[in-house]
């Protein structure tokens, strides 16, 4: 099995990245009054606005139904992504793996110094602080299913750093309102740096829709990402709540901010896609900032929004 030397190959072959998709130019509610498929997005928008108006925090929501109809509340306002950024990071990694003829089964050497102890890292809990050699697939698994911060920074380092990641995202034609400017280590050193990693709800909903509809079967690397985010172990009390007893499929990535002095959270997010048993699909992004509520109550806000969306478009 080859030992990937990411940075050299990624930079030398940078120009051959293929675009993941053209921008979707039909996202902004031209069909908001559509009832043709049995759902009413005007009703949904009204319910979301009413619900959000009762909350003492900044909330943004975007939903794209069947890659065609869109509804949003505060959908064009930037929010801190927190660990949601690990999803676009994984897509950039998969593209570079494929472009250079490698596989997620190939291994990466990890030094003990890269395994920081003052951060959330179940991978560190399993292996301890020592030199490691792990398949890229396992590192990606830690980053996506368990939101491991060390795993994410290891991937960022191998792709060439935050600036290189930003360049790759542009060439892949990711929605331009998704911006990454800090690693997990950066954010834990200075919490204000988390404001460098932002996305609008509409941009993140668009990226999840693009992935689900056009990218997930592009290669084994992208199929692996789909499998991982559909097994996400974090935030089971957020977007996932309506699907506990259904045959619908949710793929998602959560993000959790820092505790505030007032007992709330700087941010709490959950974004993803839903493939319905009836053949339909939708993407959804819910991002919250500066909530005075604790984790349990803030997660409940996301769960209630997810339920509202499912009640209108999921049945």
In sequence order, what are the residues at sequence separation of 6 or more whose Cβ sits closer than 8 angstroms to the Cβ of residue 63? 41, 44, 70, 71, 72, 205, 282, 283, 284, 285, 309, 313
Residue 39: predicted pLDDT: 81
Residue 31: predicted pLDDT: 45
Indicate the burial class of 165 (C-beta count within 10 angstroms; 0-12, 13-18, 19 or more): buried
Domain layout of the chain by residue ranges: 26-313
Residue 315: predicted pLDDT: 76
Residue 20: predicted pLDDT: 37
Which two structure tokens, joined as six digits, stand for 197?
Answer: 């990693």
CATH architecture of 26-313: 3-Layer(aba) Sandwich (3.40)
Which two structure tokens, joined as six digits, stand for 226?
Answer: 């789909």
Residue 22: predicted pLDDT: 35
Residue 38: predicted pLDDT: 67
Residue 21: predicted pLDDT: 37
pLDDT tens digit at each of 315 positions of the chain? 445 444 444 433 433 333 333 333 334 344 444 443 668 999 999 999 999 999 999 999 999 999 999 999 999 999 999 999 999 999 999 999 999 999 999 999 999 999 999 999 999 999 999 999 999 999 999 999 999 999 999 999 999 999 999 999 999 999 999 999 999 999 999 999 999 999 999 999 999 999 999 999 999 999 999 999 999 999 999 999 999 999 999 999 999 999 999 999 999 999 999 999 999 999 999 999 999 999 999 999 999 999 999 999 997
Residue 305: predicted pLDDT: 98
pLDDT tens-digit readout, 102-112: 999 999 999 99
Q: Per DSSP, which regions of the chain are E strands? A: 58-65, 69-73, 79-80, 107-110, 132-135, 198-199, 249-256, 265-275, 281-291
**Which pTM was predicted?**
0.89
CB burial of 24-54 (b: ≥16 within 10 Å; e: otherwise) equals beebebebeebeeeebbbeebbebbeebbee
As beta bridge partners, residue 273 has 251, 283
């Amino acid at each position: 099995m080859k030992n990937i030397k990411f940075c050299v190959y990624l930079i030398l072959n940078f120009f051959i990245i293929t675009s993941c998709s053209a921008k979707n130019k039909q996202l902004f509610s031209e069909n908001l009054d559509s009832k043709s498929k049995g759902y009413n997005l005007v009703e949904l928008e009204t319910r979301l606005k009413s619900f959000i108006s009762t909350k003492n925090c900044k909330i943004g929501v975007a939903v794209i139904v069947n890659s065609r109809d869109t509804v949003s509340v505060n959908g064009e306002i930037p929010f801190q992504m927190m660990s949601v950024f690990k999803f676009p990071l994984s897509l950039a990694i998969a593209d570079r793996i494929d472009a250079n003829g490698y596989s997620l089964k190939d291994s990466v050497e990890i030094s003990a110094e890269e395994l920081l102890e003052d951060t959330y890292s179940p991978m560190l809990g399993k292996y301890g602080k020592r030199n490691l050699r792990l398949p890229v697939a396992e590192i990606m698994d830690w980053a996506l299913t368990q939101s491991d911060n060390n795993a994410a920074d290891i991937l960022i380092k191998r792709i060439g750093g935050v600036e290189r990641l930003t360049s790759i995202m542009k060439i892949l034609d990711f929605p331009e309102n998704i911006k990454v400017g800090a690693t997990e280590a950066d954010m834990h050193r200075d919490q204000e740096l988390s404001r460098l990693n932002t996305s609008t709800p509409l941009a993140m909903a668009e990226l999840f829709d693009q992935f689900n509809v056009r990218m997930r079967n592009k290669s084994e690397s992208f199929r692996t990402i789909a499998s991982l985010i559909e097994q996400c172990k974090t935030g089971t009390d957020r977007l996932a709540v309506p699907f506990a007893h259904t045959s619908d499929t949710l793929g998602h990535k959560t993000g959790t901010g820092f505790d505030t002095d007032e007992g709330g959270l700087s941010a709490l997010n959950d974004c993803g896609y839903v493939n319905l048993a009836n053949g339909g699909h939708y993407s959804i992004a819910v991002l919250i900032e500066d909530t005075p509520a604790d984790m349990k109550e803030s997660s409940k806000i996301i769960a209630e929004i997810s339920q509202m969306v499912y009640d209108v478009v999921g049945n």
